[in-house]
Each structure stands twice: as C-alpha cells, then as structure tokens.
Amino acid sequence: MDRNIPTSSKLPPGIPPCTPEQWYWAEKYMCLSKGRPPGDRAPVRRGNLSCPVGWYWKGSNCIPSWPSSLRIIIPRGFMWDQEQLVCRLKSAIPTSNTVSLTASVPSSSGQSSVRCPPNHWYWQEKQICLPDEGSNTVPPVNLGIKCPTGWHWYKNTHCAPNRPSDIGAPCPDGHKWDNDAFVCWPI
C-alpha cells in the first residue's frame, strides 16, 4: 500500500505547510510529526484492535510514524479496517498469546506435504518457501525493529528464519519478540 507522499512544498491548495519536523499524510490531509511520540515503542493492542507495524495510536485511530511506514504490515490474526484506520482482530482467531513456530522439512523419504523450489525449505508458520542460504536483509532502521539472530527481513513484511534450526532464536539484547507481527521491538 505504498503511496506518493507530497512534501510540504507540494501540498494541495488550502493546506498549511508542514514544519521541517513534520510530513504530510495525504490520507487524512494533515501534517504528522516524524517518528513516534516519546515512550511509544510498539503497536499496543487495545482489546480487539491493534495498529500496523510502524504505526501508533493517536486517539482512536492508528497513524503512521513515517511516510515509509505507509506500507501496512498487519499483525497476524488481524485484518485492516481502512475506514477506521485500525487493525481488527479476526473473530475466529484463538486468544492464546503463545505461538509455536514450526518448520516443515522433507522426511527421510524426501517427501513433504508442500513442494518448494529446489534449495528451499517450507516454513509452516507463515506457509512460505524460504531459500536454504537465508538472507542478510534487515528491517528499515526507521521502524525501530530488529529480527532475531539468524533471521532476516522478509519482503518488507516480517522477520523470517534463515534455516529451520534458527526457529526459536532470541531477539537481540534490548528487544522483545512480538508473536503477532513477527518482529523484535525495543524494550
């Protein structure tokens, strides 16, 4: 959901210019402060509502921290409500906070329930095929998130393990795992 973001010099008529510490959010015709408010580290769940990765609560709506966070990364088990600008919990999702991360690798007979391309393995948790050699891609710095040791930033959406043996790896020091977003948030 990438969008062209006008700078303060290219704002629509009638919109006051944004300050250098702000950027223009065309979705709501307003200037927003760059970054998150002090002390706001991660999308906080409010009952059945949450914010996307890189967004935070402002009143009863979620707003993006930066123009680059306009790509909406929805926490697992939620769906995006474009009208209200929040993520809503899918009603059929269990409320357990524990998630078991599993990998599906070929059995000794070489068979697997899912066929991946050569030199790939199947990650059951996200139902995707990942390359055997992994990746060294990291999350965008401005999101303030990291991936666990031995994991990489997968297609601008979440962290993914490089190998089945990396599943369950810890987050870097000073970070905590988010089971919904599959990222490590600063603590």
1-19 pLDDT, tens digit per residue, is 333 334 444 555 666 678 8
Which token pair is 128? 């995707």
Per-residue pLDDT, 36: 66
Q: Is the pLDDT of residue 187 over 80?
A: yes
**Looking at the predicted structure, is the pLDDT value of residue 170 above 90?**
yes
The pLDDT value given to residue 95: 39
CA 32 to chain CA centroid, nearest Å: 20
The angle subtended at Cα 154 by Cα 153 and Cα 158, nearest 5°, is 75
pLDDT tens figures, 74-122: 887 888 887 778 888 876 333 333 333 434 344 333 444 578 888 888 8
Q: What is the DSSP letter of 102?
A: -
The C-alpha atoms of residue 82 and residue 108 are separated, in whole angstroms, by 47
Q: What is the pLDDT of residues 33-81, one digit of tens each?
A: 877 665 555 556 788 888 887 788 877 778 887 776 666 778 878 888 8
- Measured between alpha carbons, how far is residue 142 from residues 26, 41, 53, 64 in Å? 20, 12, 11, 11
Assigned token pair, 93: 């999702």
**5 and 70 Cβ atoms separated by less than 8 Å:** yes
